[in-house]
C-alpha cells in the first residue's frame, strides 16, 4: 500500500500547476510500481537526462548496475511568486529554473555555477555557491522533499515533520537513502545585472580579515574568491543591480578565474554571473587560446563531463587520477591549511567559497561537530591537480582535513578506510533512515557507493 505521510504536501496554487502536479503523480506511480514489483535486491542506479557532475571513474559500477528510469522527472511544476517558492522535479537543471524565475524577478537562493547541475543532484551531492556565506548549501533553502523509498512508498519530508531525519539525511546522501522525486525550495528577489568587485590581497591574513568583515557585516549579496597563490588572493564580492554600464561573458575566449586577477570590477547579466565558471571552474578546457577559439564555445562543463564519461577508458587514468575535490574547513583553520597546502600540494588556482554553518548536518557525526567551533566554514576547491611522485594526494587531503576538523565532499575518488569513514559520516543516522527507506540496501550504503562501487569494488 502506498503510504503518504500525515503532513499535507505543499500544493500548486494555479490550475496549470495543478495539472502538472497530477502528471507528476502519474510519473511517481510508475516509478513506485517498478520498485514495488522488483524481485531482485541487486543494486540499482538512477538514469537521468543531464550529465552527472561527479568525477567520471573508469570502473564505476553505476555503468553496469540495473537502472531505474527517472528521465521524465524533469519538469518545473510551479513558480509561486506570492509564496516565493518553486515546486520542481529533481531532474530540472538550474539554468531552466533561472530561465523561468528571473523574468519574474526571482531566483533560487543558491545557484550552483555549472548550468546543468540539477536541483535533485544539488541536494544529494551538496551544492554551494557565492550566496552560501549567507544561506549555506542549496539544501538549506529547501522546505519539502517527496521521496520514493526502495519499497515504492512515498514520503513527504520536511525539516519538522515525522520524517525530518529523512529530510536531513537526503542531503549529501549521494542517492543512498531513496529517490528524491519532488522538491519545494525558496526563491529570493533578483535583478537583471550583477556588479562584482575583485578585491586583491597580498597576504592570507588580509584576505581572511576581509572575508570575516563581509561575513559579519553581511554587506554584499555574493562572495567567493580565487586564490592564485598565497600572495595573490582575489576576493570577489557583488550585488544585484538594475543597470550596467557594460557586461561581460566568460563562455568562449575569456576565462573567468583569470579575470579575477586582472580586473578590479565587472558587470554581468545575472545568468552569465551564475554560470561564469561553466567552462570549468579553475580547470578550463581547452586551455590554449587556439583551442578555445576553435571549440571553446561548444565545450561547457556538461560537454566536457559527457566526453570524459563516454571515453573514460581512453581518457582517464584510474591509478593516478587528477585531483578534483571540495574541502570544507572551519574558517579558523584556513590559514594553517593554505600554508600546508602551498608546501605539500602547490597546485593553483583554488576556488574559495565561504559557507555559513546554518545547520549541524545530521550526516556528520557528533564528534565531528564537537571539534568544529566556527560559525563560518570555507570550501576550498582543488580542481585538476596532477598527482606527482608516489603520493596519493586524495588520501593526503583526507588525512590533513581530519587533523584540521575539515571534511571533503564525496564527488570524486575516496580512499577512506571503512572505520575512519564512519568516524566522520554518521553511520547510525544513515542506518535509522535506511531501515525506513531502503532496508534491503538496493541503493548501497554511503561507504559502499562512494568509496567502493564508484571505484569498481
Ligand atoms: C568538476 C566539478 C565541478 C563542480 N563544480 C561545482 C560548482 O561550481 N558548484 C557546485 O555547487 N557544485 C559543483 N560541483 C559539485 C556538484 O554540485 C555535485 O556533484 C552535484 O551533486 C551535481 O549534481 P548533478 O545534478 O550533476 O547530479 P548527479 O551527479 O547526477 O548526482 C549526484 C548524486 O546525487 C544522486 N542523485 C541524483 N539525483 C537524485 C535523485 N533524484 N534522488 C536521489 N539521489 C539522486 C546521484 O545518485 C549521485 O550520487 C562540481 C562537481 C564537479 C565534478
CA distance 214 to 224: 11
> Residue 217 burial (CB < 10 Å; 0-12/13-18/19+)?
exposed
For position 308, what pLDDT does the model report? Answer: 75
For position 60, what pLDDT does the model report? Answer: 87
CA distance 363 to 361: 5
CA-nearest residue for atom 41, ligand 1, is 180
CA distance 147 to 122: 15
Which residues, in sequence order, are bridge partners of residue 329?
A: 378
Which residues, in sequence order, are bridge partners of residue 156?
A: 146
Inter-CA distances, 216 with 15, 133, 134, 135, 144, Å: 44, 10, 10, 13, 29
Render each residue's pLDDT in the chain as its tens digit; 457 residues: 344 444 678 999 999 999 999 999 999 999 999 999 998 999 999 888 888 888 888 888 988 899 999 999 999 999 999 999 999 999 999 999 999 999 999 999 999 999 999 999 999 999 999 999 999 999 999 999 999 999 999 999 999 999 999 999 999 999 999 999 999 999 999 999 999 999 999 999 999 999 999 999 999 999 999 999 999 999 999 999 999 999 999 998 899 999 999 999 999 999 999 999 998 888 888 888 887 787 777 777 777 777 777 777 766 677 889 999 999 999 999 999 999 999 999 999 999 999 999 999 999 999 999 988 999 999 999 999 999 999 999 999 999 999 999 999 999 999 999 999 999 999 999 999 999 999 999 999 999 999 999 888 8
CA distance 210 to 295: 38
319 Cβ contact partners less than 8 Å away, ≥ 6 residues apart: none
For position 3, what pLDDT does the model report? Answer: 44
CA distance 21 to 10: 11
CA distance 10 to 285: 42
156 lines ligand 1 (CB under 6 A): no
| SS3 state of residue 128 | coil
Range 15-189: architecture per CATH: 2-Layer Sandwich (3.30)
CA distance 241 to 244: 7
In the chain, domain spans: 15-189
With residue 226 as reference, give the H or E element that holds it. strand 222-229
E-strand ranges in 322-445 read 323-330, 350-356, 376-385, 407-408
Per-residue cell: 66: 540495473
118 lines ligand 1 (CB under 6 A): yes
124 lines ligand 1 (CB under 6 A): yes
Q: For ligand 1, what atom is nearest to the CA of residue 181?
A: 41
Q: For ligand 1, what atom is nearest to the CA of residue 46?
A: 47
74 lines ligand 1 (CB under 6 A): no
Instruction: Specify whether the CB–CB gap between 426 and 362 falls below 8 A.
Output: yes
| SS3 state of residue 217 | helix
Q: What is the dihedral of CA 442, 446, 450, 454, to 10 degrees?
A: -10
CA distance 270 to 293: 24
Which residues, in sequence order, are bridge partners of residue 185?
A: 86, 142
For position 7, what pLDDT does the model report? Answer: 60
CA proximity to 104, closest of 90, 85, 129 = 85
Q: How far is the CA of 119 from the centre of ligand 1 (A)?
A: 9
338 Cβ contact partners less than 8 Å away, ≥ 6 residues apart: 204, 227, 230, 380
CA-nearest residue for atom 21, ligand 1, is 125
Instruction: Specify whether the CB–CB gap between 410 and 159 falls below 8 A.
Output: no
pTM confidence score: 0.95
Instruction: Specify whether the CB–CB gap between 337 and 329 falls below 8 A.
Output: yes
Please list the alpha-helical segments (H only) found in 136-255: 164-170, 204-217
108 lines ligand 1 (CB under 6 A): no
Inter-CA distances, 138 with 9, 120, 134, 233, Å: 20, 10, 11, 26
Inter-CA distances, 172 with 177, 213, 333, Å: 10, 29, 23
Q: For ligand 1, what atom is nearest to the CA of residue 90?
A: 41
With residue 186 as reference, give the H or E element that holds it. strand 179-189
CA distance 277 to 268: 13
Residue 152 backbone phi and psi in degrees, to 5? 85, 15
How many CA atoms, within 13 angstroms, populate the side-chain half-sphere of residue 289?
Answer: 0
Instruction: Specify whether the CB–CB gap between 454 and 60 falls below 8 A.
Output: yes
146 lines ligand 1 (CB under 6 A): no
Inter-CA distances, 238 with 86, 115, 246, 273, 381, Å: 25, 20, 15, 10, 20
Which residues, in sequence order, are bridge partners of residue 15?
A: none
Our mutation pick for probing the ligand 1 site, out of 53, 69, 169, 180, counting the most ligand atoms within 8 A of Cβ, is 53
Q: How far is the CA of 312 from the centre of ligand 1 (A)?
A: 18
CA distance 271 to 390: 42
| Residue where the block lists cell 526571482 | 106
Q: How far is the CA of 414 from the centre of ligand 1 (A)?
A: 16
CA distance 78 to 61: 35
Beta-strand pair 66-69/44-47: parallel
CA torsion sign, 372 to 373 to 378 to 384?
Answer: negative
Per-residue cell: 235: 576576493
Amino acid at each position: 500500500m502506498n503510504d503518504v505521510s500525515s503532513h499535507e504536501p505543499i500544493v500548486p496554487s494555479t490550475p496549470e500547476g495543478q495539472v502538472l502536479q497530477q502528471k507528476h503523480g502519474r510519473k511517481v506511480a510508475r516509478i513506485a510500481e517498478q520498485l514495488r514489483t522488483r524481485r531482485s535486491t541487486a543494486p540499482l542506479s538512477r538514469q537521468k537526462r543531464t550529465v552527472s557532475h561527479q568525477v567520471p571513474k573508469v570502473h564505476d559500477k553505476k555503468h553496469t548496475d540495473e537502472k531505474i528510469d527517472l528521465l521524465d522527472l524533469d519538469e518545473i511544476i510551479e513558480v509561486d511568486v506570492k509564496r516565493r517558492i518553486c515546486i520542481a522535479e529533481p531532474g530540472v537543471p538550474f539554468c531552466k529554473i533561472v530561465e523561468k524565475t528571473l523574468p519574474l524577478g526571482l531566483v533560487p537562493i543558491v545557484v550552483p555555477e555549472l548550468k546543468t547541475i540539477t536541483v535533485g543532484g544539488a541536494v544529494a551531492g551538496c551544492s554551494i555557491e557565492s550566496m552560501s556565506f549567507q544561506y549555506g548549501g542549496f539544501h538549506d533553502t529547501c522546505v519539502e522533499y517527496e521521496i520514493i523509498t526502495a519499497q515504492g512508498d512515498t514520503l513527504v519530508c520536511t525539516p519538522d515533520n515525522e520524517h525530518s531525519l529523512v529530510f536531513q539525511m537526503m542531503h549529501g546522501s549521494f542517492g543512498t537513502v531513496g529517490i528524491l522525486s519532488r522538491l519545494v525550495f525558496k526563491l529570493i528577489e533578483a535583478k537583471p545585472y550583477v556588479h562584482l568587485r575583485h578585491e586583491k590581497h597580498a597576504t592570507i591574513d588580509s584576505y581572511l580579515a576581509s572575508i570575516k568583515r563581509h561575513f559579519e557585516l553581511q554587506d554584499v549579496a555574493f562572495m567567493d574568491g580565487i586564490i592564485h597563490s598565497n600572495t595573490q588572493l582575489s576576493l570577489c564580492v557583488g550585488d544585484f543591480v538594475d543597470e550596467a554600464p557594460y557586461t561581460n561573458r566568460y563562455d568562449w575566449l575569456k576565462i573567468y578565474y583569470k579575470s579575477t586577477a586582472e580586473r578590479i570590477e565587472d558587470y554581468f547579466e545575472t545568468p552569465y554571473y551564475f554560470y561564469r565558471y561553466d567552462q570549468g571552474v579553475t580547470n578550463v578546457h581547452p586551455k590554449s587560446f587556439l583551442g578555445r577559439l576553435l571549440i571553446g564555445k561548444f565545450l561547457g562543463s556538461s560537454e566536457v563531463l559527457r566526453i570524459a564519461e563516454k571515453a573514460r577508458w581512453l581518457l582517464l587514468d584510474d591509478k593516478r587520477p587528477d585531483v578534483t575535490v571540495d574541502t570544507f574547513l572551519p574558517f579558523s583553520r584556513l590559514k594553517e591549511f593554505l600554508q600546508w597546502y602551498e608546501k605539500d600540494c602547490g597546485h593553483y588556482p583554488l576556488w574559495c567559497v565561504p559557507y555559513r554553518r546554518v545547520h549541524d548536518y545530521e550526516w556528520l557525526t557528533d564528534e565531528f561537530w564537537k571539534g568544529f567551533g566556527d560559525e563560518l566554514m570555507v570550501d576550498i576547491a582543488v580542481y585538476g591537480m596532477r598527482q606527482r611522485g608516489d603520493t596519493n594526494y586524495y588520501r593526503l587531503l583526507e588525512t590533513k582535513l581530519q587533523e584540521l576538523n575539515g571534511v571533503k565532499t564525496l564527488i570524486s575518488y575516496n580512499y577512506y578506510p571503512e572505520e575512519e569513514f564512519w568516524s566522520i559520516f554518521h553511520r547510525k543516522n544513515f542506518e535509522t533512515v535506511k531501515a525506513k527507506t531502503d532496508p534491503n540496501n538496493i541503493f548501497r550504503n554511503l561507504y559502499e557507493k562512494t568509496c567502493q562501487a564508484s571505484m569498481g569494488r
